Amino acid sequence: MSTESKKGRDFKRVLMFCYEYPPLGGGGSDFVRDFLEGLTQEHGLKVDLICYGSTKHMQGFKDKETEFLKIYRVGSWFPRKERAVTNIIGLLGFPFFALVKSFFMNLTTKYDLVYSFFTVPSGWCGMIHSLLFRKDHYVSVIGGDIYKPTKKYSPHKIALFGWGVKVVINLAHRVSSISNDVKNRLFQFYPVRRETKVDVLALGKPYGLINTDEVVRTDNEFRFVSLARLDSRKRFNIMIDAFAKADIPNSKLTLMGDGPEADGLKKQVKDLGLTDKVDFLGFVSNELKYETLNNSDCFVLTSAHEGFGLVYLEGLRCGLPVISTDNGGVRDIVQEGYNGTLTEVDDVDAISEAMKKFVEDGKYYQSLKSNAYKSSAPFSIENAVDRYAQFLNS
């Protein structure tokens, strides 16, 4: 192994491909940043990361590199219009630019391992590079890279992408997924070899950034809160209908996030006569996000599917029990009757009843609330860094 030695310690050199990396992408890319920035000498890894970065979205942003992390940005065809949303041509163009970059990097640096975060398109880069230079290829499956039920171009609906996922996984030396749900969907939708071992490695949040101070409230308003991109997959229209149906006196619903569904959701709220009970905060800073969470009573998310759901951890860490639809990685985080409750997807009646029960049954609500904060502990970024470092060192 061509490890680098420093102060008596051998470091495994890792070439990593990750198409989305902050300020681009969503929760998955945020985790990659937190994970890589959390690497220390004890983890025995040094990572060179190749990711996408257009001039438009990088203005005023500077990548944070460390002794154990170097970042290399490459372009693509037809740059994305939004930070959080890619386009199909840009996604398909990334492997070409990334592989050219990695070829020249390999001339000066000898890597021990190739690691891809996301099977599409990052995994294509890692697979080709590992075949060219005969290095082991490790892959992390994230969820949206194999299954997006509300998207026309979800990999599980397109034969070319499906074939691409299958080949990447079947040729990989090690595979991980971020939740049991993502692991199950990988075997459900793709002809992956049944003997393929998939390690389930949960994501994590840097809780040190979260202000969990007790908030003194002078009102007796019950506040539901949600945090996500306002798109069709999140089913905010269902959440708003459920809140309206619950018709709970002295209650509010606060939505943090922006997206293509914003105008339609605001019209829905107006048509339902809820403008004084539903607040849209749009994109929020970390400070306002945690101030809002700390001033709320219950975290709600009614998505059609979540591969994992880092926002659940933020709500739980602020002491909020959860109401969520039961479809996806949430099952690894929220336990029915312990720190929240789960309903069927798109079931307005069930979500509405859950909201009413949280307000009307004080003993039940306090029981869930008492477990919220401590149930977030296993998902700290420190624990996640240890999990992923151990995976890469195996």
pLDDT score, position 88: 73
Phi, psi of 331 (to 5 degrees): -65, -20
pLDDT score, position 162: 87
pLDDT score, position 96: 95
Residue 105: C-alpha distances to residues 70, 76, 77, 109, 274 (Å): 12, 18, 21, 6, 56
Please give the model's pTM, rounded to 2 decimal places: 0.92
Q: For the chain, list residues with pLDDT below 70.
A: 1-9, 55-57, 79-85, 212-216
pLDDT score, position 343: 98
pLDDT score, position 57: 65
CB 327 within 8 A of CB 308: no
pLDDT score, position 24: 85
pLDDT score, position 213: 67
pLDDT score, position 134: 96
Q: What is the largest CA-CA distance in the chain?
A: 68
Domains and CATH numbers, the chain: 4-205+380-393 (3.40.50.2000), 207-375 (3.40.50.2000)
pLDDT score, position 55: 60
Phi, psi of 280 (to 5 degrees): -105, 115
pLDDT score, position 84: 63
Question: Which residue type does 106 have?
Answer: N
